Chain A
Amino acid sequence: MTTTVEDSTTAPHDPTTWQLVVGLEVHVELATATKLFSASANRFGDEPNTNIDPVTLGLPGALPVLNEQAVELAMRIGTALNCTIQPCTFHRKNYFYPDMPKAYQISQYDQPLNVDGHLELPDGTRIGIERAHLEEDTGKSTHVGGTGGRIHGSEYSLIDFNRAGVPLVEIVSRPDIRTAEQARQYVTELRAILLAVGASDAKMEEGSMRVDANVSVHHPGEPLGTRCEIKNVNSVRSLGRAIEYEMRRQIDLLEGGDRIRQETRHWNENDGRTHTLRSKEDADDYRYFLEPDLVPLAPSAEWIERVREAMPLLPAARRKRLADATGVEPDSEAAMVVVDRGQDDYVLAVGHLGGDLGRALVHVKEAYAEQGPEPAVPAQDLALLTNLESDGRLTATQAKTVLAELVANDGGDAEAIAAAKGFEAMDSSALETMVDQAIAANPDVWAKFVGGEGKAMGALVGAVMKASKGQADGRAVTALLNAKRA
């Protein structure tokens, strides 16, 4: 992935490079028991229009009552994103759409709950968080007939109000993102944080996490370019594609002498392009005003402190902790994957039980993809396996086989499994004999190896493995070969 795009020679008036600038707006549905302003269940996948009540339906006379659990989860998000939690208010955002039964959305406007935070990408890059505010979700429309699922031209529309009033937090980043890859990392890291603090299940495919990207390009040192907002991005992968497409589109326009019109664009997964949804001129005038049915919200210092104290270790800290314990880099694949699966505590437990941390990390990363944060294999069992390896009693290949048995049976005695499989640690003299035999049988290869041809090593190890029927420890063979060459 390129971070900047070299200006082509067809734009001789401006020989500098283009810089991509991205800000992300992420909506997440909070994992509350009930809706933001009523007692109806907040549950995905129920029969349409079953989790409804007068407040959800915006019936005349119904009034909203703020859900304390939603505030708490929003505060957790703010705390995890290093925001200041401040006294805040709710506003009405007035617009008319069939899936918004009150014809206004209750949101936060000039005084949001969380402000001025940041999120650190795994490589340490800081992305500023402008705000993370509470608001209610709309219902879900399904437009039947017509094209592309749009309301225009459809025969009829179905509306499910189960989602109406579900609590959302909108997390608005500053325009600090400079590459599509950073955007992907931001969303991935944000998702991990949301899961860690238990604020949301953050599933992009189910819509409980929705990402809009504000994309512009400019020449470094010059004012920011006109931005376009990209909607309908339904996966982290699509986000990267959409940003890259949009960047290219804007650069092409600018280099062709056109200007960018500020507009909202719709990402089409099928053709891999963004399309104009509405221009700024058509933008709604939301006529924001203070929601008179709610009172200002001022979380007490004690509440804020309670939330802070109850913060779990966040993914970045967990990666660092795991990395420090196992000797890998915090942004290494193993650390990222294992922390992402929530299996780092398990790996550390293997260490506490006297197991080999490095081997445990690799095994968990390789073999525990289907396991959750609490793997079925007892940590004690994995610890024993890593120790058998460390002691040279099992080769890496044998260990893998035993591990597969452990995973398949939700644990077991690694030693007994190894014995049952006839795995015996080869004593060193037997191994040496096999190595000597392999050298003797392949004199040309040995000569190449001695001559410094690295590839030749593989052939010799392969020969030993074949002779030992896979029982030999590859590392021990390598060590022996190197010793003999020296």
Chain B
Amino acid sequence: MMADDPIPTNDADPAGTTTAFDVAAAVRAGTVTAASLVERDLAAIAAREPELHAFNLVLADRARAEAAAVDALVAAGNDPGPLAGVTVALKDNMCTHGVLTTCSSKILEGWKPPYDATVVTRLRAAGAVVIGKTNLDEFAMGSSTENSAFGPTRNPHDPSRVPGGSSGGSAAAVAAGFSRVSLGSDTGGSIRQPAALCGVVGVKPTYGYVSRYGLVAFASSLDQIGPFTTTVADAALLLDVIGGHDPMDSTSIPQAQPSLLRAIEQDVEGLRVGRITDLPAGADDDVVERLELAFDALRDAGAKIVDVRVPAFSFGLTAYYLIAPAEASSNLARYDGVRYGLRIESPDTNAMYSATREAGFGEEVKRRIMLGTYALSAGYYDAYYGKALKVRRLIADDFDRAYQDADVLLTPASPSVAFPFGSKGDNPLAMYLCDVYTIPTNLAGHPGMSVPFGTGADGLPVGAQILAPALGEPQMFRAAAALERAMTKELAR
């Protein structure tokens, strides 16, 4: 494949239209109907969804109707938009008007939001077809989807293993071909880690790049929506559509962002790729091996590899597990059984609150609410939450220094390939360590993405994580596209 043509096509598909890029082009050109492509995806879902459980809800009828509307536009000579006919699966913590939105929690039982998240509005306006709501760890708290109240999602590459999390359903949906693309949310690695484990591209943009309006909050200062795709170009296409200022989200970045599709037209000649020399140890050998090959690939493509230090990186996990639960304890206090969602009837109102929360929240959610409430409490605030904020500042400062010498940084996305169900046992700390390489970026508000870069143990996917400074998406995507091209070459050999 030529360097100026980074969009791989899948010859196995008769229509040759598996990527969002190709689907949109074909539908807009009128050579393939959105309706037929939706049927293809629904057939894939029918075949494997019972085994994988990527979805909490498949919106077959709605998807068909939306596809028909897209086709009607094309037939009438109108352009449905840059995502014409592209099926998209939404992590089930994004609000969809009149459609169940559960966060994979019992507490939101029966709740249908009276509004669409901004990303949903933008996707539809671009011609995309929402095909379903995907499974997640309850309220996005977890790294395996094992914390879903509705049962785990299975990894399409090996159904005995987890897809990662918390956006496991969205990662699996794209990996299994259930939808062309999907959206996840990443608070501490919840897009990048499952992307790595499922062998797809996953992007956590700069904080504020994509509107959070309509994303059910876990930790508001860390949450960010981003895409899962099979190609880097698709991720760029999707971010170009869903990114940009939203007046409904005060933390959304006011400035317009440059097109990432444009950015990946540029190679990595002269790009400075940083190797964090004091990165916390703990990654498995197969992952480390693939990462070394990724450095080699970028060097071969013309990038310059430089050593940098990010000393506070290793404190990220600890700070995160104070800050994120603290915000969660506040964000989740509204679920009380009064206005919406689950209600366990009880003799009096206080008993109703308790019974509803006891039944409605899972163990991990309760654990984090407790942790966060404690960290914010009078007498403990300074020692815990206050200190964590200082660490957060340190991490950002350390990254800033590193980015004086490097344009992007390269690390593993996950310390290991997909692990078997139950293998982290009842040890929450072991599970928390899954996000050791992804969390610091969230604390700094920086972008990061995972790009599939070959396979490790048992032939399972390994993801290379590219990190960049705030609004460094263009160079991050350039590096990602270079890794993708290198993989295409490697696979062709």
Contact = CB atoms under 8 A, between A and B. Distances in A.
B236 interface: no
B376 A104 contact: no
Nearest to A94: B330
Given A54-B115, A65-B248, A289 B334 contact: no
A287 B95 contact: no
Contacts of A353: none
B254 to A, nearest CB: 10
Contacts of B295: none
B131 interface: no
B217 A289 contact: no
A104 B378 contact: no
Contact of A66 (B213, B250, B336): B250
B100 to A, nearest CB: 12
B377 interface: yes
A61 B95 contact: yes
A60 B330 CA distance: 12
A103 B334 contact: yes
Interface in A261-317: 285, 287-289, 292-295
A64 B250 contact: yes
Contact of A65 (B217, B250, B376, B377): B250
B470 to A, nearest CB: 14
A98 B216 CA distance: 20
Contacts of A54: 113-115
A61 B250 contact: no
B213 A289 contact: no
Contacts of B349: 98
Contacts of B493: none
A60 B250 contact: no
Contacts of A94: 329-330, 333, 376
A94 B219 CA distance: 15
Contacts of B385: 289
B257 interface: no
Interface string A71-95: 0000000000000000000001010
Contact of B326 (A98, A103, A289): A289
B377 A285 contact: yes
A60 B217 contact: yes
Interface residues of A, number: 27
Nearest to A55: B248
B217 A61 contact: yes
A33 interface: no
Given A59-B114, A61-B113, A63-B249, A293 B377 contact: no
Contacts of B336: 96, 103
A59 B214 CA distance: 9
Contact of B213 (A58, A61, A96, A295): A61
Interface string B319-355: 0000000110110011010111000000001000000
A295 B251 contact: yes
A290 to B, nearest CB: 8
A447 interface: no
Where chain A touches its partner, the secondary structure class is loop
Contact of A96 (B115, B333, B378): B333
Contacts of B216: 60-61
Nearest to B376: A287
A31 B333 CA distance: 30
Interface string B358-399: 000000000000000100111001000100000000000000
B330 A287 contact: yes
A11 interface: no
A325 to B, nearest CB: 49
A375 interface: no
B376 A289 contact: yes
Given A60-B113, A63-B250, A98 B338 contact: yes
B247 interface: yes
A48 to B, nearest CB: 14
B334 A101 contact: yes
A178 B401 CA distance: 56
Interface string B97-131: 00001010000100101110100000000000000
A274 to B, nearest CB: 27
Nearest to A59: B113
B221 interface: yes
A426 interface: no
A292 B377 contact: no
Contacts of B249: 63, 65
B342 to A, nearest CB: 13
A59 B213 CA distance: 11
Given A60-B108, A60-B113, A98-B338, A104 B213 contact: no
Contacts of B219: 292
A66 B250 CA distance: 8
Contacts of A288: 376
A101 B333 contact: no
Contacts of B334: 58, 60, 101-103
9 contacts: A54-B114, A57-B339, A61-B117, A63-B250, A65-B249, A94-B333, A287-B381, A292-B220, A293-B250
Closest 8 pairs (CB-CB, A-B): A103-B333, A292-B221, A287-B376, A292-B220, A60-B216, A61-B214, A61-B95, A285-B378
Given A287-B377, A294-B250, 10 more contacts: A59-B114, A60-B103, A61-B212, A61-B214, A65-B250, A98-B349, A102-B334, A287-B330, A292-B219, A292-B221
